[in-house]
Amino acid sequence: MSETMAAGGTRTLQIWRGDLTSGQLVDYTLETEPGMVVLDAVLEIQRSQAPDLAVRWNCKAAKCGSCSAEVNGKPRLMCKTRLDHLPADEPITVEPMRAFPIIQDLVTDVSWNYEVNKKIIPFTPREDLPEGDYLIDQADTDRMSEFRKCIECFMCQDVCHILRDQRMHNKYYGPRFMVRLASLDMHPLDGIDRIDQIADEAGIGLCNITKCCTEVCPEGIHITDNAIIPLKERVVDARHDPILKIFKRNNTRPGKKKPEASA
Amino acid sequence: MAIEHHDFDVLVLGSGGSGLRAAVAAAEAGAKTGLVCKSLLGKAHTVMAEGGLAASLGNVDPRDNWETHFQDTMFGGKYLNNWRMAELHAKEAPDRARELEHWGAVFDRTPDRKMSQRAFGGHTYKRLVHIGDRTGLEMIRTMQDKAVHSDIDIFMETTITRLIKDGDRVVGCFGYRRASGEQISFSSKALVVATGGSGRIYKITSNSQDCTGDGYALAYEAGAELVDMEFIQFHPTGMVYPPGVAGLLVTEAVRGEGGILRNALGERFMEKYDPKRMELSTRDVVARSIYTEVKEGRGTPHGGAYLDVSHLDSDYVRRKLPSMYDQFLELAGVDITKEPMQVGPTCHYFMGGIKVDPDTGETRVPGLYATGEASGGMNGANRLGGNSLGDLLVFGRRAGIGAAADANKLSAVALPAEELTAAQGEVDTYLNGSGTENPFQMHKDLQKIMGDGAGIFRDKEGLTEAISLLESLESRVDKLKSPSPRLEYNPGWQLCREVKNMLTVSLMIARGALMREESRGGHSRLDFTAYSDYWAENNIVVHSKGGYDMQLTPTPVFKRDELSELVEARKESEKAS
Ligand SMILES: Cc1cc2nc3c(=O)[nH]c(=O)nc-3n(C[C@H](O)[C@H](O)[C@H](O)COP(=O)(O)OP(=O)(O)OC[C@H]3O[C@@H](n4cnc5c(N)ncnc54)[C@H](O)[C@@H]3O)c2cc1C
Ligand code: SF4
Ligand code: SF4
Ligand code: FES
């Protein structure tokens, strides 16, 4: 790889313009500079051709997860997608995420995700912890860290067919929050038994492991293999394991407590 | 027309590290607390912080203690820091780091399973608590979850355009919801400004879109004092290519891991500027060195210096610097394990800010508090890496407690109708007035003025020119108008007030820089290259005399007798070495 591939030149972007009621793709042609990302092009169009073009962004460094959109039909961070990595002989389409209601142009209403997050009990230390510094293995840290890399771009939510096509927002928390639940469940010092929530309200049973979410994650989180499948196994162990049922009336792991009903 | 209105004991502006910590503290103290931010929750600028949070836990090097951290901070700030703030920060950062862990944050570990700590420029011992190169994200996510479950009302994507006073006291603020354009007002017994810095006044910056100095300008307009505004940290290593990503940060850890700087002739030029510390010299020195090499014609094809890690084992590079590896491969098409990076200085951090009481975060305006990068004093003339994240937690908490204590003493406040009408009039004018000035164009003009005249190197001629150009923007700012009258998520409308704020901030910087006739930390004068004895003892404090007319007052550094011994000891040991 070298900078010779950093072509500039004239490009056409077809950007979706509209609101909740209606909208269409609108063509914009601009001179691009070498190495431009899609967000640069969109902001240049905003500056010079369409000053009311709505787009959400903040860090422009692929770290905040604000600028998610569907570029050539695939969810991507606009600030991390180079124009010259997209086919040169056809227009580039830029559309809002389809799993969420549109506010304006490329900006969608992602507030549902924040509502879901509120339902997840935050980290709560086990009651049997000794006084003093928390002691945690690096191996546990590495395992949780994969999940905690999540920048909440919500692109996995966007592609998950349960949300996107079946619109079952009231039955399934979506892959982002499976990742969150997994990070809490795997925290060695967390004192909450989260199995009921994972199985029932969060609806993990609805996931049929298509792995579409994993494919789009800009952080490379193995959402399906490392978060969802282990959680599914935990649910099976806790709920259906006949041997456990005989020996333990309550299948809660040591140190973990069922959440209080009000929580 | 009636608008949406909310009442709080404590209202916090900003959901970066400092704002979240302040809101949590205020709610814990029993205040009815609200939090307002321009972006979505969890997206604030803090989310980008990489290297870590400085706290003298002594987990890795047991010799560490608060006294040494205090001394390092004072030395880094060239002794212009507010002594009390540097003291509180050094003393309390360890507890704040542990507390984060108790709230669920996950940091890298030592072999004996405690929080690990890494070395960073200017810190005597290994001191930075971290998780890979995404410490800011960990901090934000942890406190975001804490806040969400702390009975705090959160208003996302809501832009505050004015603080509202009743007589001498700040009693609330006004703004609009970005998604709908609907106006909104808040009354608050105490208000905490945690709006971060103002990097967007420069074209080349590592700062996020939100960083337009709103809090500095709003507090200035409300009568607060600001301090040290001439001190701006230019991080030595930002990307210079491709143009779209120019300014994007290349973490100091690259040099920490053994990265070497060379000019276009292949010379390891830091030998000339700081042969002892070389690439790991302080940020101001490295930034000036790169700038000088480029200016004197020894720059790389894209106008920077080469930063090279290709001599290191390629697996090691990928493991230790994963996001840098990705960033260059993805954005610049450069494989850093094989080829050098091209880097140059980028505007990174504002040492200055709103002047506050160290213990409570209170400003000189009753009811108004400030914290985080929006406040000034803690870092003096130059900030050490890792000292911002600690600052956010220590002083965010203190401001939240201070504001809640104040609010708990007060009965309800109300917004004077005429103040509210004036605030409404302003945002209406940007949308529907008869103005002709385009905010996108004016932002570009302002960035050029600041880059040309008040950038990394300054002199009398350039600053005088910059000030007169900025003054010529004052009248144009009143004619700013959004190119589109749409209410919903209108970027031009948003930028109008931001440009006005950035103009106020730019004037403070340029005027302060002209007054300070010396070079120190993040302020380098080509015509006064040495330290001055007078300025060694004085901060510049600025407040409004009405509009853009400013009073700048040299003010003696805030000292404490009980810390003199530590400071003197450090100065002595420096002289000796
Ligand atoms: C790439 C990068 C790496 C860094 N790494 C480190 C590091 O390793 N260690 C370290 O100590 N420091 C680091 N820093 C510096 C540190 O991240 C910042 O100084 C710090 O995050 C500032 O936090 P804050 O809480 O003051 O404000 P911010 O995080 O900037 O948050 C400001 C908030 O105010 C809101 N706001 C602004 N204006 C308004 C308005 N008008 N109305 C409503 N809301 C408003 C914004 O929406 C936002 O929520 C780094 C900085 C960058 C850019
Ligand atoms: S693997 Fe499961 S969560 Fe992921 S997209 Fe498929 S159904 Fe949705
Ligand atoms: S898991 Fe990945 S795709 Fe999903 S929100 Fe987080 S970062 Fe985005
Ligand atoms: S703008 Fe932050 S991820 Fe793209």
- The pLDDT tens digits for B172-184 are 999 999 999 999 9
**Cβ pair A58:B131 closer than 8 A:** no
From A40, A56, A63, A110, the mutation candidate for ligand 4 (largest count of ligand atoms within 8 A of CB) is: A63
Residues A197 and A177: their CA atoms lie apart, in Å, by 11
Mean pLDDT of chain B: 95
pLDDT grade for B334, boundaries at 50, 70 and 90 = very high
pLDDT grade for B414, boundaries at 50, 70 and 90 = very high
Ligand 3 contacts CB of residue A154 (under 6 A): yes
Does residue B480 contact residue B500 with C-beta atoms inside 8 Å?
yes
How many Å lie between the alpha carbon of B335 and the closest alpha carbon of chain A?
7
**Cβ pair A104:B491 closer than 8 A:** no
Which residue owns the Cα nearest ligand 2 atom 4?
A213
**Cβ pair A107:B108 closer than 8 A:** no
Kindly name the residue from B21, B169, B235, B511 that is annotated as catalytic.
Answer: B235
Query: For residue A261, what pLDDT is reported?
Result: 58
Which two three-digit tokens encode residue A252? 């809660």
**Cβ pair A51:B331 closer than 8 A:** no
Give this complex's ipTM: 0.93
pLDDT above 70 (res A241): no
Q: What percent of chain B has pLDDT over 70?
A: 100
From the candidates B24, B208, B442, which should be mutated to test the interface with A, based on the most A CB atoms within 10 A?
B208
Average pLDDT on B331-337 reads 92
Domains A3-108 and A111-247 share a fold: no
pLDDT above 50 (res B379): yes
Average pLDDT on B72-86 reads 97
Does residue B363 contact residue B356 with C-beta atoms inside 8 Å?
yes
What CATH class has B428-532?
A: mainly alpha
Which two three-digit tokens encode residue A18? 């509209």
pLDDT (tens digit per residue) in B251-285: 888 898 889 999 999 999 999 999 988 998 888 88
pLDDT above 50 (res A1): no
Residues B460 and B453: their CA atoms lie apart, in Å, by 9
pLDDT (tens digit per residue) in B114-151: 999 998 888 999 999 999 889 999 999 999 999 999 99
pLDDT above 80 (res A251): no
pLDDT grade for A252, boundaries at 50, 70 and 90 = low
pLDDT above 60 (res B383): yes
Between strands B4-13 and B183-193, the pairing is parallel
Average pLDDT on B569-575 reads 92
Query: For residue B70, what pLDDT is reported?
Result: 98
SS (H, E, C) B488-542: CCCHHHHHHHHHHHHHHHHHHHHHHHHHCCCCECCEEECCCCCCCCCHHHEEEEE
Closest C-alpha among B255, B233, B254, B237 to residue B246: B237
Query: For residue A244, what pLDDT is reported?
Result: 58
Question: Which chain A residue shows the shortest CA-CA distance from B180?
Answer: A103
pLDDT above 90 (res B341): yes
Which two three-digit tokens encode residue B534? 């007078």
Query: For residue B576, what pLDDT is reported?
Result: 83
Query: For residue A6, what pLDDT is reported?
Result: 55
**Cβ pair A103:B179 closer than 8 A:** yes
Question: Which chain B residue shows the shortest CA-CA distance from A49?
Answer: B483
Domain ranges of chain A: 3-108, 111-247
Identify the bridge partners of residue B342 per DSSP, sorted by sequence position: B306
pLDDT grade for A4, boundaries at 50, 70 and 90 = very low
Query: For residue A3, what pLDDT is reported?
Result: 43
Which two three-digit tokens encode residue B369? 């508090």
Query: For residue A263, what pLDDT is reported?
Result: 40
Average pLDDT on A34-40 reads 91
pLDDT above 90 (res A35): no
Average pLDDT on B334-357 reads 96
Residues of chain B with CATH 1.20.58.100: 428-532
Query: For residue A247, what pLDDT is reported?
Result: 56
Which two three-digit tokens encode residue B329? 């491969």
Average pLDDT on B542-559 reads 97
Burial B221-232 (b: 16+ CB within 10 A, else e): bbbbbbbbbbbb
Average pLDDT on A63-71 reads 98
From the candidates A121, A148, A150, which should be mutated to test the interface with B, based on the most B CB atoms within 10 A?
A148
Average pLDDT on B452-464 reads 96
Does residue B454 contact residue B509 with C-beta atoms inside 8 Å?
yes
pLDDT above 70 (res B552): yes
Query: For residue B320, what pLDDT is reported?
Result: 78
Which residue owns the Cα nearest ligand 1 atom 12?
B388
Please state which architecture CATH assigns to domain B234-346. Alpha-Beta Complex (3.90)
Query: For residue B121, what pLDDT is reported?
Result: 83
Residues A150 and A61: their CA atoms lie apart, in Å, by 14
Average pLDDT on B245-253 reads 89
pLDDT above 60 (res B295): yes
Residues of chain B with CATH 3.90.700.10: 234-346
The one-letter amino acid at B170: V
Does residue B440 contact residue B495 with C-beta atoms inside 8 Å?
yes
**Cβ pair B179:A104 closer than 8 A:** yes
pLDDT (tens digit per residue) in A85-110: 999 889 999 999 999 999 999 999 99
pLDDT above 90 (res A168): yes
pLDDT grade for A34, boundaries at 50, 70 and 90 = confident
CATH superfamily placement of domain A3-108 = Beta-grasp domain (3.10.20.30)
* CATH domain A111-247 topology: Fumarate Reductase Iron-sulfur Protein; Chain B, domain 2 (1.10.1060)
Residues B8 and B131: their CA atoms lie apart, in Å, by 36
- The answer to whether B235 is a known catalytic residue is yes
Residues A250 and A171: their CA atoms lie apart, in Å, by 26
Ligand 3 contacts CB of residue A221 (under 6 A): yes
CA separation, residue B430 to residues B163, B208, B386, B423, B449 (Å): 18, 23, 39, 11, 23
Query: For residue B282, what pLDDT is reported?
Result: 82
Helical ranges in B29-106 per DSSP H: 66-76, 83-102
Query: For residue A243, what pLDDT is reported?
Result: 61
Query: For residue A69, what pLDDT is reported?
Result: 98
Number of other residues whose CB lies within 10 A of the CB of residue A81: 25
Close Cβ partners of B474 (under 8 Å, ≥ 6 residues apart): B503, B547, B548
Which atom of ligand 1 is least distant from the CA of B197?
30
From the candidates A2, A47, A57, A64, which should be mutated to test the interface with B, based on the most B CB atoms within 10 A?
A64
Q: List CB contacts (< 8 A) between A190 and chain B.
A: 104
